[in-house]
A and B are shown apart, each in its own frame.
Chain A
Amino acid sequence: MKAMRMPSLGADMTAGTLLEWHVEPGDRVRRGDIVATVDTSKAEIEIETFDGGVIDEILVEPGTKVPVGTEIARIREAESEAAEAARATPPPPAGENAAPAQPPLTGESAAPTRSPSLAEPSPSAAAAPAPSPHVHRVRVSPLARRIAAERGVDVAAVTGTGPGDTITRADVERAAQAAFAAAPAQAPPPALAEHRPAADRHASLRAAIGALMARSKREIPHYHVAQVVDMSAARTWLDAYNAARPPRERLLLAVLLLKAAALATHDVPEINGTFDNGVFAPADGVHLGVAVSLRGGGVIAPAIHDADGLSLTDLMQALRELTGRVRRGVLRSSDVEGGSITVTSLGDQGVDAVYGVIFPPQVGLVGFGRVAERPWAAGGMVGARPTVIASLAADHRVSDGHRGGLYLASIDRHLQEPEQL
């Protein structure tokens, strides 16, 4: 028997509210399957099981807030294949009596093939890849359902106000707006399953970010270094690259910056890792946190794992998906865990340079301002070139200005050879 515990989904998370279970006892799960949705102080996150097996017991009811580390479910070992098969649906007889691919008779999920001779459904759905959630019969208008899917709203948690308690578009839109509210980090009130009004959640989120940043400033001795980087080579290369490709295959400049920041940690590894209990632990890989601003205020920094090994195309894809999940308010636990260094790019906002605050327990925060035409002297001549100011905020307990400067120099070098990224 294995225990599944409330995971830590952020440096500042001390407890989480179990919002909804997507499995029930008896369901077969594999490592990586999504089993529940948890409300952290910042977002609703789908959590996965790291163990495969069969859900044995659910220990925490939806709506309950429990500290990180609390056992929330038990998973038992899966039976042998033979034992499972013996309990599973017998194969349908060949010939006229077979009913291949019968549509489900009711709203419940159906086994892939259904033998007409079966008296009752088997306890475990044979070979079901992911356990399908048990959806109770909620009336949802087609429009509402579509919008819910687009916004990542779970209709099961929405209250319907249409005729017959039907969930309408208006109901879903209300729920979508409320999705970003967060419980306050300190002294949480008793957990409630329903969503709080948008204003409350926004305030809670701000409070949580504030607490994190205050802790960072309080505990981490920051130093800052910055460098102006010539972006003409990168810009030229990128324009040519994009011109030869259809829109969906094109790259954003930001992707080059991210890759450069990831690769540069190979030269200065003490920028990449965590500082805990007085000890610096270098990360096992370059898990690049990307700061994404939230609608309604606030910022979150989910991580792209092993960013240094991703091709530019894959990095672009990962960035796109990550941003999408953030916007929909549906992050995975793997997104928010394990970042080893964070990049923040405020170029869109028009600032020249970022002097940021490190996300504990990380030890470095890389900043990029906007790409702007600036005067540049080279070979005795003065001209205008596209440039960006790269900055580093780093933990002085782990590195110093010299090392920080080398890191930025490495970024610069990488950006001069964009085709190598």
Chain B
Amino acid sequence: MSGAVASTVTFREALREGLRAAMAADERVFLMGEDVGRYGGSFGVSRGLLDEFGPQRIRDAPLSESAFVGAGVGAALGGMRPIVEIMTVNFSLLALDQIVNTAASLSHMSGGQFHVPLVIRMTTGAGRQLAAQHSHSLECWYAHVPGLRVLAPATIDDARWMLAGALADPDPVVIFEHGSLYAREGEPPGPGPVDLAHAEVRRAGSDVTLIAYCNGVRIALAAAETLAGEGISAEVLDLRVLRPLDADAILASVERTHRCVVVDEGWRSVGLAAEVSALIMEGAFYDLDAPVARVCSAEVPMPYAKHLEDAALPQPERVVSAVRGLGLGPR
């Protein structure tokens, strides 16, 4: 491909370019995780990087989530800028102690003496028939923890540039990459940087706000397109940052549209959509013309059979339906 500029890139390629650029720019940066080196990354994100940066900096780890995430914390304390890749959020449960009790707590607990400039990347989400133990969307668990910053790139630009911002953050950052987005193609990323604080309106609208993150953004956009055909103008807000949530952007949108549907692949009970809904109730109650609706995954461990999985996950049709349930559109 020498000299030729690709007309589109994949989400995966954008992530890889972000990794490569970060490693080239700062010697302290290294990548550690299962199969990140020789295998090229279980989702192919780090393919080719071992050859470029060597086994010290593209470091294959044994299946010891707790140890290598904790080691990431220690290495960060020791002056490095580690990027720890936990293969999926499903396996991150084994490292929760190190993430919550050490990484997130250390600064506050030590009275500000130690900060942990650690970046953790995890793949998340369902939709590829990987069944119950490989299909979780536990972003809300991490968004719940003070001391962490939680990012959710949904676009090529964010895939390319969020990592740089995360590495510059002196405190722990968790980045969720939705498994269904890796292969999606789009225009090559623009110039960075991107901020790590704001949500972004991906489609402007006036009748209802659709709030989403990661794969949900794609679903919300599809729903908005369908709704436009029915004369309903839906605004799509990409959260981008799950902790801290951009309350200003959320409220500003709902204050204009007066109706809201939150799309969240996590389970409905006690989830991220519940937090967004509470936020809207607190800040924009007197601007609501209908209750906030939530479109979430069904309250079941994710089944293997395709039709069951499809039924369990948020889909554009369910979002359209939810919008109609707010009193918009044909009756």
B residues near A (Cβ < 8 Å) are 258, 285-290, 325-327
In A146-173, the 8 Å CB interface with B consists of 146, 161-163, 166, 168-169
Inter-chain contacts of B288 with A (CB < 8 A): 141-143
Q: A6 at the A/B interface (Cβ < 8 Å)?
A: no
Query: Are B326 and A143 neighbours in the complex by a CB distance under 8 Å?
Result: no
User: CA separation between A162 and B289, bound complex, in Å?
Assistant: 9
Which residues of the partner chain B approach A142 to less than 8 Å between Cβ atoms?
285-289
Once bound together, how far apart are the Cα atoms of A161 and B331, in whole Å?
Answer: 11
Quick one: which of B285, B289, B325, B326 contacts A169, CB cutoff 8 A?
Answer: B289
Q: A162 contacts B286, CB within 8 Å? A: no
Smallest CB separation, A37 vs chain B (Å): 25
Within 8 Å of chain B (Cβ to Cβ): is A144? yes
B327 close to A143 (CB less than 8 A): no
Are B326 and A163 in contact, CB atoms less than 8 angstroms apart? yes
Question: With A143-B286, A143-B288 known to touch, is A163 a contact of B258 (CB < 8 Å)?
Answer: no
Does A166 lie within 8 Å of B258, measured CB to CB? Answer: no
Total contacts A to B, CB within 8 angstroms?
32
Q: Is the CB of A168 within 8 A of B286?
A: no
Q: Using a CB-CB cutoff of 8 Å, which residues 161-206 of chain A contact chain B?
A: 161-163, 166, 168-169
Closest to B326 in A: A163
Pair B289/A163 contact, Cβ less than 8 Å: no
The reply to whether B285 and A168 form a contact with Cβ atoms under 8 Å apart is: no
Interface string of A117-148 (1 = CB under 8 A from B): 00000000000000000000000011111100
Q: Please, which residues of chain A bring their CB within 8 A of the CB of B285?
A: 142
Seen from chain A, the residues whose Cβ lies within 8 Å of a Cβ on chain B are: 141-146, 161-163, 166, 168-169
Q: Are A163 and B327 in contact (CB under 8 A)?
A: yes
A163 contacts B325, CB within 8 Å? Answer: yes
Residues of B within 8 A of A166 (CB): 290, 327
Min CB–CB distance B285 → chain A (angstroms): 5
Question: Lowest 7 A-B CB distances belong to which pairs?
Answer: A162-B327, A143-B289, A141-B289, A146-B286, A163-B327, A142-B286, A169-B289
Offer 9 A-B interface pairs, CB within 8 angstroms, sorted by A: A141-B289, A143-B289, A144-B289, A145-B286, A162-B289, A162-B290, A168-B290, A168-B327, A169-B289
Given the known interface contacts A162-B290, A163-B290, A166-B290, the answer about A143 and B325 at a Cβ–Cβ threshold of 8 Å is: no
CB pair B327–A169 under 8 Å, yes or no, is no
Instruction: Compute how far the CA of A169 lies from the CA of B207 in the bound complex, rounded to whole angstroms.
Output: 12
Residues of B contacting A168 with CB < 8 Å? 289-290, 327
**Max count, chain A CB within 10 A of own CB: residue among B258, B285, B288, B290:** B290
Task: Kindly list chain A residues whose C-beta atoms are within 8 Å of the C-beta of B325.
Answer: 163
Residues on A with C-beta less than 8 A from B327 are: 161-163, 166, 168
Residues of A within 8 A of B326 (CB): 163
Q: What is the CB-to-nearest-CB distance from B280 to chain A, in angstroms, rounded to a whole number?
A: 11
CA distance A169 to B290 in the complex (A): 10
- Chain A residue numbers with a CB within 8 Å of B258 are 143, 169
Please, which residue of chain A has its CB at the minimum distance from the CB of B290? A141
Inter-chain CA distance A162–B288, complex, in Å, is 13
For residue A144, which residue of chain B has the nearest CB? B289
Bound Cα distance A146, B258 (Å): 13
